[in-house]
Homo-oligomer: A and B are copies of this chain.
Amino acid sequence: MKHVLALAVASLVSVSASAAEGMWTLDNLPTRALQSAYDFSPDADWVRNAMRSSVRLAGGCSGSFVSDEGLVLTNAHCIVGCVQGLSSAEEDRLNDGFVAGSRAEELQCPAEELNVLQEITDVTDRIAKVTAGKSGREYIDARNAEVSRIEDACVAGEAQERRCDVVSLYAGGQHHLYAYKRYQDVRLVFSPEYSVGFFGGDPDNFNFPRYNLDMGLLRAYENGQPAKVEHHFRLNPAGAQPGELTMVTGHPGRTQRQLTVAQLERVRDLDLINSLLLLAERRALLAQYSRGGEEAARQAQSDLTFTENSYKVFRGQLQALLDPQVFAAKRREEAELRTAAESSTPWDEIAQAQQVRRTLYYPHMLIGQQRAFDSRYFQFASILLRGGDERPKPNAERLPEFQDAGLTRLEQTLFSKSPVYPEFETVKLTHSLTKFRELLGTDHPTVQQVFGGRSPEALAAELVNGTRLGDAAERERLWRGGKAAVDASQDPFIRLARALDAESRALRSRFESEVDAVEGRNAESIARTRFARYGTGVYPDATFTLRLSYGEVRGWNELGNDIAPYTRIGGLFERATGFAPYALPQRWLDAKDRLDLDTRFNFVSTNDIIGGNSGSPVINRNAEVVGLAFDGNIHSLGGSFWYDETLNRTVSVHSAAMIEALDKVYGATHLVEEIDPVGAR
């Protein structure tokens, strides 16, 4: 009995995709499985249309065009940064919602970028050629230089409109060039009140049944005009029926399904536990700050949401990795691969690199990744300082984030008019400085250097009181002035960033050569073994590039109870208590009588998605939007490591509910007309 059970678990984590498992690149769709399970064979036009109608929000979400004038459908929670940046104590668009009554009322997001995939090219051979026989720093440098050359050639000097990324797939087994059309003038069209976009808040996050209008609309602009786009999806309010094929095209951020056992143990014991403990503190800190009043709550809102969400994700991941059965299955799979491989050196070297990770963990995180300084001011200072040093270098020699492809996005961050709140920054910074001292110890030389005998509170106050980096004009002056201007600056955050720069770069470099390079090189080798054994009918781990996942609308069984796949708008009103996060905005209360309460609101499907997929369209075989993915159920959190079709579910807003709400709650008939739902005429 035990043996049978173990095999059943093994199949869940097997490399060969089963059922709805898989986040497939669009140049390698699981055509046979789609054909046999759903009698569906997408042709090249279908695929091209799906690809070019799908949108990536560069900040970490997905979306899709839903009109030929660049209207983009995504989640409300994906545009919180934009909306918060367009809000202030006087005009709270995040909580009050926003509907642009006309094009003229659409508001430019302070820092937003959209990418639309145009083409995929295999460049594996070019990378393999320059890295052959190299290791460590040399390997990294050779790879980075070639990547930069390929990307430069692809961008061809049109960085404002084109973005080209060399993507490492199958843990380095393949390298593909992804060429995107790029939009950097992105405007806010519609955002619901936070309380309905995120109804149920943290308690209901990753839960189902669910009642969220987690939708938002942006618009891509070109030359100051709404972008004319060749491809877009139409929205079908009929939605999808139980068992009907649903596909999600979006940008899953990261899965770790092909890690070795040593890496998974490190993820569990080092990364997840430490991240969770830090997030737990940050969460309580922000929550308590928020209780200081409405304005404080507003300032902390998006940070708190982000922190609570990350906490829940990591908590679910940790719980998944604490399951001894699943670990046993991973072990068996690895043993099988090791036997098939020419040597077990790749696994051994990866295991050794985990020890380096453990040793470097705190310094790398705190100083290398600069988490000791949790403040937008420090982020600005670091970009300015390194921008001054890096931009004069030839493109290929710069730190990757300062290469041409990334500069405009950095500038968006830097020049953003989104207000900076000194008191709030002081609170976050004080806390991260406290952790810095705690985790490295009072006697650590860098701690001594940074604190100079002061307390975290005193140091944070001194930095924040002394800085002018809260002023976008000052940031722009320093950026435009380049290295000379930055060197001349006595701003305390820039001085701090400068004092730590050498050590921070050294830690990053050491991590890259002793960890990343070792893991990368050996993962490639393991990937080759995997290919040899299982063929090409597999999908790569997620990399925040466009993927298609297929599945169907289906509930699941939770401890003996069947969970129905749909909720209805009426349920929203039943669940509302009047107290946040279960309080409905007045506009909804007023609209109740006008609404068809029987309208399907949210639904679950078996699609295999992960963070980054938020905002993805759920489409049917006619490439019509039947839903808008915004979450997974609680079981989906183990999806980082494997897919379990019996439990893992995608949670989406139903297409009917989106139209119903735009029309009857927000009176946005002009938007409904532009979206032009199937069957509306």
Contacts and interface: CB of A to CB of B under 8 A. Distances in A.
A571 to B, nearest CB: 12
A405 to B, nearest CB: 38
B457 A202 contact: no
Contacts of A577: 453-455
A284 B277 contact: no
A292 to B, nearest CB: 8
Contacts of A457: 291
Interface stretch (A387-395, A411-419, A437-445, A478-486): A437-445
Nearest to A200: B442
A204 interface: yes
Nearest to A315: B277
Nearest to A583: B455
Given A202-B438, A322-B269, A442-B203, A458 B579 contact: yes
A578 B457 CA distance: 13
A283 B284 CA distance: 8
Contacts of A123: none
A578 B451 CA distance: 12
A39 interface: no
Interface string A449-472: 000011101100000000000000
A431 B284 contact: yes
Contacts of A579: 453-455, 458
A318 interface: yes
Contacts of A454: 577, 579
A442 B200 CA distance: 9
A658 B203 CA distance: 52
Contacts of A280: 277-278, 280-281, 284
Contacts of A282: 284
Contacts of A289: 288
Size class of A's contact patch?
35 or more
Nearest to A324: B265
A578 B578 CA distance: 49
A410 interface: no
Nearest to A457: B291
A287 interface: yes
Interface string A273-303: 1001110111111011101000000000000
A438 B203 contact: yes
A183 to B, nearest CB: 38
Contacts of A580: 455
Interface centre among A204, A277, A453, by most chain B C-beta atoms within 10 angstroms, is: A277
A485 to B, nearest CB: 33
A112 to B, nearest CB: 31
Interface in A425-448: 427, 430-431, 434, 437-438, 441-442
A269 B280 CA distance: 17
A457 B577 CA distance: 14
A325 interface: no
Nearest to A312: B438
Interface in A178-217: 200, 202-204, 207
B284 A288 contact: yes
B273 A203 contact: no
Interface centre among A204, A278, A284, A431, by most chain B C-beta atoms within 10 angstroms, is: A284
Nearest to A458: B579
Contacts of A200: 442
Given A277-B280, A288-B427, A578 B453 contact: yes
A437 B203 contact: yes
Interface centre among A276, A289, A291, A434, by most chain B C-beta atoms within 10 angstroms, is: A291
A50 B307 CA distance: 53
Interface string A368-394: 000000000000000000000000000
Contact of A441 (B207, B288, B322, B578): B207
Contacts of A283: 281, 284
Contacts of A455: 577, 579-580, 582
A456 to B, nearest CB: 9
Contacts of A273: 273, 318, 322
Contacts of A453: 577-579, 582
A277 B273 CA distance: 9
Contacts of A431: 284, 287-288
Contacts of A318: 273
A203 B439 CA distance: 9
A291 B207 contact: no
A578 B455 CA distance: 9
5 contacts: A280-B280, A280-B284, A285-B287, A454-B577, A455-B577
Ranked 6 nearest A-B pairs via Cβ: A455-B579, A280-B280, A453-B577, A281-B284, A284-B284, A288-B288
